[in-house]
Amino acid sequence: MSVVSQENLILAIYPFSRGFAFVLFEGPESPFDWGVKEIKEKHRNIKTLEAIKELIDRYCPEAIVIEDTSDRSCRRSSRIKKLYRMLTHLATAEHVDLYRFPNTSVKQYFAVVGAVTKYEIAQAIGLQIPAFSHRLPRVRKPWMSADPRQSLFDAAALGLVFYGSRGIPSPFDADSA
């Protein structure tokens, strides 16, 4: 396994019921690596944490960006909330800065371009980051389960909100709209 060590890599992670998605950014419009990893074994949290640790060891990111589950609007399962707590401990042990953003911050950030729903946010990201455009999931009907590809866009949205919070210009900022 080769080790890539570059300054300013940001790892955005978004766990979902069957695994997690990640986007490794060099800048707001420059994803370096991304993926959706499904974890089917028992002890999903431990297996997910091991896979995330491999990403940290491989890329040595400057920061990890996750969802803030302490926000009242957060409707994540107790298993995912526990995974986030475990991820917080991992980031501390690996000496990687950890940033949390609630879902409300993501919605506010993308409201500038008229994207309110998860699908609309994914469309907005697909338009601005061409590498993601062909990965757009279909529109989800109420009776359908979530497409795992949607979590890739959820991770990307967290990364873009991180850059916006740091004052780094992106196409979604209110100042550039």
Parent domain of 73: 10-165
Query: Is 109 part of a structural domain of the chain?
Result: yes
Domain count, the chain: 1
Q: Residue 174 has what DSSP assignment?
A: T
The whole-angstrom separation of Cα 66 and Cα 56 is: 14
Is the predicted pLDDT of residue 4 greater than 50, yes or no?
Answer: no
Asked if residue 171 is part of any domain, the answer here is: no
Structural contact between residues 114 and 120, judged by C-beta atoms closer than 8 angstroms = yes
Q: Does residue 56 form part of some domain?
A: yes
Asked if residue 2 is part of any domain, the answer here is no
Give the Cα separation of 104 and 101 in Å (integer): 8
Q: For the segment 78-98, what is each residue's pLDDT rounded down to a tens digit?
A: 888 899 999 999 999 999 999
- Residue 145 confidence (pLDDT) above 60: yes
Query: Considering the entire predicted model, what is its pTM?
Result: 0.87
What CATH number does the domain containing 157 carry?
3.30.420.10
- At residue 79, the pLDDT reads 86
pLDDT tens column, 31-62: 999 999 998 888 889 999 999 999 999 999 99
